[in-house]
Amino acid sequence: MDKQTNILLIYTGGTIGMVKDYKTGALKAFNFKKLLKNIPELAQLDCHIDTISFENPIDSSNINTAHWVELASIIETHYNSHDGFVVLHGSDTMSYSASALSYMLENLAKPVIFTGSQLPIGDLRTDAKENLITSIQIAALRKKGKAVIKEVGLYFEYKLYRGNRTTKLNAEHFEAFASLNHPPLVESGVHLKVYHENLWANVKGKKLIVHKELDNNVVILKLFPGFNPSVMKTILETPNLKALILETYGAGNAPNEQWLIDQLKNAIKKGLYVVNVTQCSGGSVLMGQYETSEQLQKLKVINGKDITTEAAITKLMYLLGADTSSKTFKTIFETSLRGEMQ
């Protein structure tokens, strides 16, 4: 008989960890030590659940690179003793955190599932229970004694997506997240349906490497009609700035105005990495398809292809933190490292 699966539940903060004080109507943090008492359904799952919480749980709007390092360190510490990890996280920045962790955990061979909720766990119509129970169930999935999911996923409202492919699209609906450029990994209905063909095929047998150096000297710049040249100049001259994500129109298009080309050319010459990512939620950058993206291609701007902005900015932090050589930076960025791009 298989040994019982050990799952570690990590609470970082967020709505899912709140319960309502019915006397005052105020929300207060949930005591995860009393998890089974509050959600007796968890006892029906065929796995052992341990819980750990950030010392100071935070609203996900306050998350930063230090919290990602703390999260990666918790997973590293418990990696050999546990078979899967469920991270409870506020939904606002969950896609950023899931993307960051996917890069930080190299050769991951176990599931790390991010989930959260739109309503607190104690709310009458909460989505928290279903998200939590199914995330634990997915993290515990085994086939021939091995984990079925071997990547960082994000589970919300009946679907598990690859974490670094997601974007939060809705602040009100239970279906808060979308993965427009990659299909779901698992769907939850009467049964759990695993789409094995959509899973990330990881390198087998390699030891987990946890990367804890992230460089946040990066910026995202969204183009809009009437963009001001002096604002662009100020941003490009930011001290210590190492990389810029240019959120362009459509399939990677930008105005072909001379000042824009000149400013980007100078910045790239001085060593700034510029990545072209589309503003569209779905679809891909196709540089050179139109005249308005041809000049970016000539400048050797990095092609973000179909990567999300969240996955692009965290990939930059990871590659810069890893001291990636300037000779190979463009090639490595344009390569799918954790299934984040085509």
Q: Active-site positions?
A: 15
Q: At what angle do helices 94-104 and 65-78 cross, to 10 degrees?
A: 50
Containing 155, the helix (H) or strand (E) segment is: strand 152-156
d(CA 263, CA 229): 9
Look at the block and give the residue holding tokens 């939620």.
Answer: 281
Sign of the Cα torsion 273, 341, 216, 310 reads positive
Q: What does the chain come to in residues? A: 342
CA angle 208/213/214 to nearest 5° reads: 115
- CA 162 to each of CA 12, 73, 95, 152, 219: distance values in angstroms, whole numbers, following the listed order: 20, 21, 10, 6, 24
Q: How crowded is residue 159: how many other Cβ atoms within 10 Å of its Cβ? A: 20
Q: What is the rounded distance in angstroms from the CA atom of residue 68 to the CA atom of residue 212?
A: 8
Instruction: Confirm if 13 and 115 have CB atoms less than 8 A apart.
Output: no
Tokens, residue 175: 């279906």
Q: Which two tokens stand for residue 126?
A: 């909460």
d(CA 23, CA 122): 13
Cα(156)–Cα(129) distance, rounded to whole angstroms?
11
| CA dihedral angle for residue 184, residue 190, residue 191, residue 192, rounded to 10 degrees | 30
Nearest to 32 by CA among 51, 56, 57, 4: 51
